[in-house]
Chains A and B, each alone.
Chain A
Amino acid sequence: EAGVAQSPRYKIIEKRQSVAFWCNPISGHATLYWYQQILGQGPKLLIQFQNNGVVDDSQLPKDRFSAERLKGVDSTLKIQPAKLEDSAVYLCASSLSSVTYGYTFGSGTRLTVV
């Protein structure tokens, strides 16, 4: 089966600019996750979707981050405006359901804010 697809692979922007990341989960996976991984740390959950509804966004900095999953398939994560501390790898993962704990991760988007 095809894996979790993410784009772009790399992005460099200046602080205060906007950026968007795209994720296409594995076909049939109802649950989609966005994680932020800062260099040297483990991934941190930003938001979880079940189909097109948000299950958990408690760690999403909502003043600058937003995410949507229209039609319950693809998802986009946006940062506006970006700060230097947003430099990280943004990982998308999917699973069959919210009670399926083993996720499949994409390769991520490496964001550098300068």
Chain B
Amino acid sequence: GESVGLHLPTLSVQEGDNSIINCAYSNSASDYFIWYKQESGKGPQFIIDIRSNMDKRQGQRVTVLLNKTVKHLSLQIAATQPGDSAVYFCAENTGGFKTIFGAGTRLFVKA
């Protein structure tokens, strides 16, 4: 398939290990954050979100952590699987409708 991005930061993990993808956001007024997964040749797919009044939220195999003090967001994937290989984007929203995407991180899962 076609590549989403060739020069993105890359994380390589062994199948079964946990993955942690980090993101620094820019606007201290942002109040809503989203993680998207983008597979080659596809559009971004919603994974999990978190509001600024929370510091942790869990989904199925995924956890998002928010540290507003240092404007940092992380996505933790438990027991990483080959199907998790993709580019992951964090996105921030500032009290309105405009969602701003970060540059993305490419996750490689080694079997």
Question: Which A positions have Cβ atoms within 8 angstroms of B?
Answer: 4, 31, 37, 39-45, 48, 55-56, 91, 93, 98-99, 101-108, 110
**Assembly CA distance A101 to B41 (angstroms):** 23
Please report the total number of B residues contacting A with Cβ < 8 Å.
27
- Please report whether the interface of chain B is mostly helix, strand, loop or mixed according to DSSP: loop
What distance in Å separates the Cβ of A88 from its nearest Cβ neighbour in chain B?
A: 12
21 A-B pairs with CB atoms under 8 Å apart are A4-B43, A31-B97, A37-B4, A39-B6, A40-B6, A40-B8, A41-B104, A42-B89, A42-B101, A42-B104, A43-B44, A43-B89, A56-B97, A91-B44, A101-B32, A102-B49, A103-B44, A105-B44, A107-B41, A107-B42, A110-B2
**B16-43 toward A: CB 8 Å interface, digit per residue (1/0)?**
0000000000000000101000000111
**Assembly CA distance A7 to B6 (angstroms):** 24
**Assembly CA distance A4 to B46 (angstroms):** 14
Given A48-B97, A56-B97, A93-B43, A42 contacting B102 (CB threshold 8 A):
yes
What distance in Å separates the Cβ of B21 from its nearest Cβ neighbour in chain A?
A: 13
What residue in chain A is nearest B5 (Cβ atoms)? A40
**Assembly CA distance A107 to B44 (angstroms):** 8
